[in-house]
Structure 1
Amino acid sequence: MQATEIVLPAVGEPETLEIRVRELPAPGPGQALVRVEASGVSFAEQQMRRGKYYDMPAFPFVPGYDLVGVIEELGPSEANGDSGLAVGRRVAALTKTGGWADRVLLDTADLVPVPDTVSAAEAETLVTNGATAWRMLHRTAKARAGDTVVVHGANGGVGSVLTQLARAGGIRVIGTASARNQQAVAALGAHPVDYRDDVPARVRELAPEGVAAVFDHVGGKGIEDSWRLLAPGGTLVSYGSAATRDQSGNGTITVLRLVARLALWNALPNGRNAHFFNLWAGKARHRQKFRDELREDLTQVFGLLRDGTIQASIDRVFPLREAAAALRHAESGTVVGKVVITPDAASAL
């Protein structure tokens, strides 16, 4: 079986992406051949093409942090056990790399069933973004109904999902975004704040005693403001360093400096907490636990989407062969929701 893939050959602009066709072997024990219906563009790919993503693979490689597709073939049935999967079943997978292709081989243990009524593109918006948002909100910050939280970049891929999940849980959200995205943030149920304004002052007006949690993907100097916004017992969840995206230097060092700063704050006797969220934390040492929790979390998120409690936010859909244009658009600063890549745009929607 042939697969068409998008390859990132080295550090470079989006236009350096290459198209490759290669042969895929038949699925082995515990594997499935998945026909990809939709993948997406995340901040990870933006960092990877700059060579700045923490723990990225060696060049060349196929980007694609996650995917949604249909099982075309399963490996030997006796090895697949009681996976509950079948040919023709739509599934989602968190891949980290490899998703920008029209066919992939994956372990069945990493596949999460997608509800029949949810389209591939809709589900795609909630794989990385949904798992990240759900875990940060419920497993890391442990936010509860009645809390007030700040979501930076509330119009973005993770931010828009996080805002919806919080509102669905009865949590008040103050969402930062650019001036042109204020209406979109308000439509999600958040109190919009222009990130170019005096954000700490505006948040203090809305939450004079501080907030239960701040979700910060920006990093940089602004992380100090996020820390100061917390109420006693509050939690800062840092999950990126967008502020340093275009700066030269080693991305690993940037992350390590951020983690060190958070650790220093945690040592202060003020009852507040700071976490650097890593979606992949624990997989290497506790692989089965990681898989079980991911399946549980994504099943919850997909269920909320199926029931209409939350909505999929698709910014634009690009054909696989236009992955460079999709990546360039994702970096434009105009995105509301998720940029989706699909081999067949018509079937994914």
Structure 2
Amino acid sequence: AVDFTEPFARNWSLNLIDRVIYSPTARGCFGILSRFTAYDLKTGRRQEFYSGPGTTAGAWGRGGLIKGPKYIYAQTADGPYDPAAGKWGNSVMALTFKDLRVVDSFTAENVEYLNRTDLDLASASAVVFPFEKWNLLASVGKESVVSLLDADNLGGKDHRTPLYTSPRWGNDEALLHDRGVWGAMATWQDGQGRRYLALSMLGPVGKSAPPFKYTYGTANDGSVMAFEVRLDAALSKPVLVPLWRSRELHAPDVPVVANGVVYIFQSGKDSTQTRAAGARGRGATAPQTSPASSTASIISSTRLLQVARSTQRTGPGSSLDSA
């Protein structure tokens, strides 16, 4: 047995990379401090990095601490931002393997807005993939704005400048629950070398979001969105082109790509959060159904949907089949 963390801590993921176990602790259960942990199975050495004061700035996205070509990456939750003081709220961080030393970071210009509205990045995890001359890192959270970063140089010289910032794809209401992107994203490359990115959106599409090339009716409860990553020749930078949006799905989970097929799981969950005991989250309304009928609805709406094949074409410039 190994003392990896305290009892009742909320460790949101467990990743094994080159015989080292990585896991983030977050959300402050029993007052346990937010941190990243690396445990070397060969040497038995445990290394910890505290991402913020107290219980702030944890990395509770589904993917946890993710592997890149050079570093390990984390997206943190609400908390103060002051790198000189070791405060890394709402940031994308690059750390060295094993010893968890910070080597780079990105923090959006609107970090104070994200903190004030509880639209933190930690609702999702970043994803890293090669594209053109870059190793790209895609970042998104509750705000539903996707940033494309150079994984080898996060945010440029000022640590605040992405290669690309998308429009707001959802969560116009700026709710802290049941809206925006949760979990993680998926990426894949088709046989023609085109790179795609997919995410699950809770709630309706943003009113100012550009149109998708292929859509299947309204999707007020949620949907899966797929984008093609392209090079803007004029800017010499990567951009996202909205390509495909699924039919309406209630609380879709993280897309999964296997053998050229994109799979979607519709969870049917209610992820309403509370700010304090007995108080419902901002903008929430009381449930209209009994607990028994709510449970039945969740169970009956849970199903696996095959929504796209990334190896066939359905139209000019597209490699996605409609469901």
Q: TM-score, normalised on structure 1?
A: 0.25
| Larger fraction in helix | 1
Question: Relative contact order: is structure 1 or structure 2 higher (C-alpha 8 Å, sep ≥ 6)?
Answer: 1
| Larger fraction in strand | 2
